[in-house]
């Protein structure tokens, strides 16, 4: 023990002397460990409100016109929490190889350069599609899916994904929480079933507002709803 500690001390002590907060955290962890291992989620004070993302569709103008008719324009229903993003009046039906359609899937605006359908893994079993877990917009090689509209049908060769767990942050919140754009963090949730989410992508931009987006599987697993608070562990 002493030998290992000395070796550890030698290599690390310089760094450690300059990092009291880090050391305190380590010692807390060691002490916890000797009692019972961390069996409760952390509350670090770095709180984030939850936004639950139900299945939804982003469309190109070309696909809007195939689905709703030539010259058709989407109608805003209400603004979403991220600046510039909105829910549209329009909903569509999606279908996959199971031929069991899912109806009333909300279209979100604004228009995108590529159409994309975001579903949960639960939905993927209903549809019998195999979408990868992805960051929104990264659809290369993702699953095919068919979208049915009142005036036409669009079959995407790729574009169906399960969204990754991610956090939107303003530049100010990025600085406040000490995280950079595209960093991955760990998040603890104290809902009715306590859960830690690993590998949560952080997106920091002056276009964003502080919010963690979870799909309905993650939210329902942990017992979280819109406005529930979670905590960044790191």
How many C-beta neighbours within 10 Å does residue 47 have?
Answer: 13
The interface region with a second copy, picked from 58-66, 104-112, 114-122, 145-153 by CB under 8 A, is: 114-122
The interface region with a second copy, picked from 4-12, 62-70, 102-110, 137-145 by CB under 8 A, is: 4-12
- CA within 13 Å, CB half, 210: 18
Instruction: Tell me the backbone φ, ψ of residue 112, rounded to 5 degrees.
Output: -125, 160
Instruction: Tell me the backbone φ, ψ of residue 66, rounded to 5 degrees.
Output: -65, -40
The yes or no reply on residue 86 touching a second copy (CB under 8 A) is: no
Q: Closest distance between a second copy and the C-beta of residue 162, in Å?
A: 8
- The per-residue DSSP string of 118-171 comes to E--HHHHHHHT--PPEE-TT--TT-EEEEEE-SS-EEEEEEEEEEEPPEEEE-H
* Residue closest to 197 by CA, chosen among 162, 170, 167, 225: 167
Residues 9-38: x where in contact with a second copy by CB under 8 A, - otherwise, as a string: ---xx-xxx----xx-xxx-xxx-xx-xxx
How many C-beta neighbours within 10 Å does residue 60 have?
Answer: 15
Report in angstroms the alpha-carbon separations of 180 from 29, 133, 175. Answer: 25, 22, 8
Cβ-based nearer residue to a second copy, 169 or 185: 185
Residues 188-217: x where in contact with a second copy by CB under 8 A, - otherwise, as a string: ----xxxxxxxx----------------xx
Q: Closest distance between a second copy and the C-beta of residue 212, in Å?
A: 14
Q: In the window 214-233, what residues touch a second copy (CB under 8 A)?
A: 216-218, 220-223, 233
Cβ-based nearer residue to a second copy, 4 or 71: 4
Residues making contact with a second copy (CB under 8 A): 1, 4, 8, 12-13, 15-17, 22-23, 25-27, 29-31, 33-34, 36-41, 120-122, 125, 133, 164-165, 184-186, 192-199, 216-218, 220-223, 233-234
């Amino acid at each position: 023990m002493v030998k290992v500690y000395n070796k550890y001390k030698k290599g690390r002590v310089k760094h450690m002397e300059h990092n009291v907060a880090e050391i305190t955290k380590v010692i807390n962890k060691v002490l916890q460990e000797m009692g019972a291992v961390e069996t409760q989620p952390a509350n670090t004070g770095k709180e984030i409100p939850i936004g639950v993302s139900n299945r939804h569709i982003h469309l190109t103008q070309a696909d809007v016109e195939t689905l709703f008719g030539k010259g058709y324009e989407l109608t805003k229903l209400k603004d979403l929490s991220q600046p510039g993003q909105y829910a549209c009046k329009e909903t569509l039906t999606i279908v996959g190889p199971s031929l069991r359609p899912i109806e009333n899937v909300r279209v979100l605006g604004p228009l995108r350069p590529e159409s994309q359908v975001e579903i949960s893994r639960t939905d993927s079993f209903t549809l019998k599609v195999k979408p990868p877990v992805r960051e929104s917009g990264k659809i290369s090689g993702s699953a095919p899916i068919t979208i049915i509209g009142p005036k036409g049908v669009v079959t995407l060769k790729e574009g169906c994904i399960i969204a990754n767990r991610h956090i939107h942050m303003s530049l100010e919140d990025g600085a406040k929480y000490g995280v950079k754009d595209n960093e991955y963090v760990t998040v603890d949730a104290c809902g009715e079933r306590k859960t830690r989410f690993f590998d949560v992508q952080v997106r920091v931009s002056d276009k964003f507002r502080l919010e963690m987006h979870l799909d309905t599987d993650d939210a329902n697993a942990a017992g979280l709803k819109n406005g529930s608070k979670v905590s960044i562990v790191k």
